[in-house]
């Protein structure tokens, strides 16, 4: 980044006008917008970009029905922001059986879900073979489910355990059934904040290198950012720059999803956090700066439903998921819940026509007539969760049965 004196010379209004018209902005300009642009002007410019990109369907905002199946909480990386993991030798470690995982997939299909996010800790014994076995079993039983799972950190770990290259690991799990990567483990990509919160993970450069390998093998992904663990504004923009540079080469990131650090039950103890306004500014700047990434997703799970609605006016075109199960950020204090009926209502009250989407963002069901809205009240977020008191949002719903 340039010196503060150089940043002060940037004409914010002119940069907003250029970005809103489709011009590319520099990292220095993005930083000045993030720091100084009037909030409403920033949001208006980002929304202009969104409307132009999706001309003809700009009135639509999307959501997906999915399930995050956490297969184990055993993890060797011990990230300081994480409240989900347990040290591998801890008596708190658990691992789901394949039968249990398949039952959860069956429930997802029963409730209209189209995607699973298969994620867990970096278990010291789980190499490529573990994921091959599980992905192939899921695809055999439920070929209609998209496996949008894992990330570069899991690839690095499984490749090391199995003694193979990252490229071979990706080829093998893709052949077994992995459809795309979820962008997990990005956290903060710049070196200083990454080492501060995840010192045992691969570098940000290595994370991106693995994603680039995946993209070149035809496996697309999303990209993410964890906000609020003590990173600077400049480091947040540097994170965006690193993603944009790879995207210029590969085009493999289909979406960018910023979310906020949750302060409970982890080593950081909430000493730093991102505000809702910082989050909305990031959504807007990301829409302006990431001119080569198609979709920006709002995160109601960590910021709340009202902030999620607002994100649709700051450049986001997607409101994420009705997540039937989620344990990781919920363990750190994210207690926001939703359901299918409410998700549709949230999007409609934000002034958009709701549409259920596929993993690759095709519209599956456009809810253009409220009289025809789905009314399945069983489709709720956190239907089953080890992170929330009671373990399930609907104890009376027993689609999963014990052996």
Token pair, residue 258, equals 């910023």
DSSP, collapsed to helix, strand or coil, labels residue 147 as strand
Check: CB of residue 34 under 8 Å from CB of residue 237.
Answer: yes
Q: How far apart are CA 45 and CA 314, in angstroms?
A: 8
What is the C-alpha to C-alpha distance for residues 324 and 265, in angstroms, rounded to an integer?
22
3-state class of 127 per DSSP? coil
Q: Give the HSE-up count for residue 185: Cα atoms under 13 Å, Cβ half-sphere.
A: 31
Measured between alpha carbons, how far apart are the two ends of the chain, in Å?
58
Phi, psi (5° rounding) for residue 162? -90, -5
- ∠ Cα 8 226 185 (to 5°): 130
401 CB-near residues (< 8 Å, 6+ apart): 103
Is residue 76 within 8 A of residue 86, CB to CB? The reply is: no
Residue 372 gets which letter from DSSP? G
C-beta neighbour count of 265 within 10 angstroms: 13
3-state secondary structure of 4: helix
Q: Tokens standing for 306?
A: 């009202």
Instruction: Return the SS3 of 108.
Output: helix
Q: Residue 320: count other Cβ atoms within 10 Å of its Cβ.
A: 24
Q: Can you tell me whether residue 209 is helix, strand or coil? A: helix
Contacts of residue 262, Cβ cutoff 8 Å, sequence gap at least 6: 83, 302, 329, 332, 333, 334
Q: Is position 75 annotated in a ligand binding site?
A: yes
Contacts of 394 (CB under 8 A, 6+ apart): 378, 380, 383
- Residue 361 structure tokens: 């963002």
DSSP states of 265-281: TSTTTTSS---HHHHHH
Task: Give yes or no for a contact between 150 and 70, defined as CB atoms under 8 angstroms apart.
Answer: no
Residue 105 marked ligand-binding: no
Q: What is the CA radius of gyration of the chain?
A: 20
Annotated binding-site positions: 75, 79, 82
Annotated binding-site positions for [4Fe-4S] cluster: 75, 79, 82
């Amino acid at each position: 980044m340039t010196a503060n004196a150089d940043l002060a010379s940037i004409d914010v209004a002119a940069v907003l006008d250029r970005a809103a018209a489709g011009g590319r902005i520099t990292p220095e300009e993005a930083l000045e917008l993030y720091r100084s642009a009037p909030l409403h002007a920033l949001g208006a410019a980002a929304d202009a970009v969104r409307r132009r990109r999706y001309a003809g369907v700009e009135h639509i905002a999307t959501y997906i029905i999915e399930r995050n199946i956490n297969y184990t909480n055993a993890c060797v990386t011990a990230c300081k922001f994480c409240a989900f993991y347990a040290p591998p030798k801890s008596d708190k470690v658990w691992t789901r059986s394949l039968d249990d995982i398949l039952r959860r997939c069956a429930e997802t299909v029963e409730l209209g879900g189209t995607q699973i996010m298969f994620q867990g800790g970096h278990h010291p014994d789980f190499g490529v073979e573990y994921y091959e076995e599980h992905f192939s079993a899921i695809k055999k039983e439920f070929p209609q489910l998209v496996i949008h799972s894992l990330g570069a950190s899991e690839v690095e770990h499984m490749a090391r355990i199995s003694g193979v290259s990252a490229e071979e690991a990706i080829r093998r799990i893709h052949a077994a059934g992995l459809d795309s990567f979820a962008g997990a483990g990005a956290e903060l990509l710049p070196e200083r904040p990454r080492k501060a919160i995840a010192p045992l993970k691969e570098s940000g450069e290595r994370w991106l290198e693995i994603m680039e390998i995946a993209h070149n093998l035809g496996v697309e992904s999303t990209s993410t950012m964890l906000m609020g663990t003590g990173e600077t504004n400049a480091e947040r923009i540097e994170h965006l720059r690193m993603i944009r540079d790879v995207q210029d080469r590969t085009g493999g990131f289909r979406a960018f999803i910023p979310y906020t650090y949750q302060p409970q039950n982890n080593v950081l103890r909430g000493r730093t956090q991102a505000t809702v306004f910082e989050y909305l500014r990031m959504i807007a700047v990301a829409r302006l700066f990431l001119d080569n990434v198609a979709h920006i997703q709002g995160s109601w799970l960590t910021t709340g439903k009202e902030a999620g609605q607002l994100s649709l006016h700051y450049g986001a075109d997607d409101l994420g998921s009705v997540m039937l199960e989620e344990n990781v950020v919920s363990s750190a204090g994210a207690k926001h819940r939703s359901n299918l009926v409410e998700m549709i209502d949230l999007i409609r009250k934000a002034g958009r026509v709701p549409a259920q989407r596929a993993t690759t963002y095709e519209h599956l069901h456009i809810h253009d007539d409220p009289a025809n809205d789905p009314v399945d009240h069983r489709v709720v977020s956190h239907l089953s969760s080890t992170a929330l008191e009671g373990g399930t949002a609907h104890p009376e719903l027993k689609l999963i049965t014990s052996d």
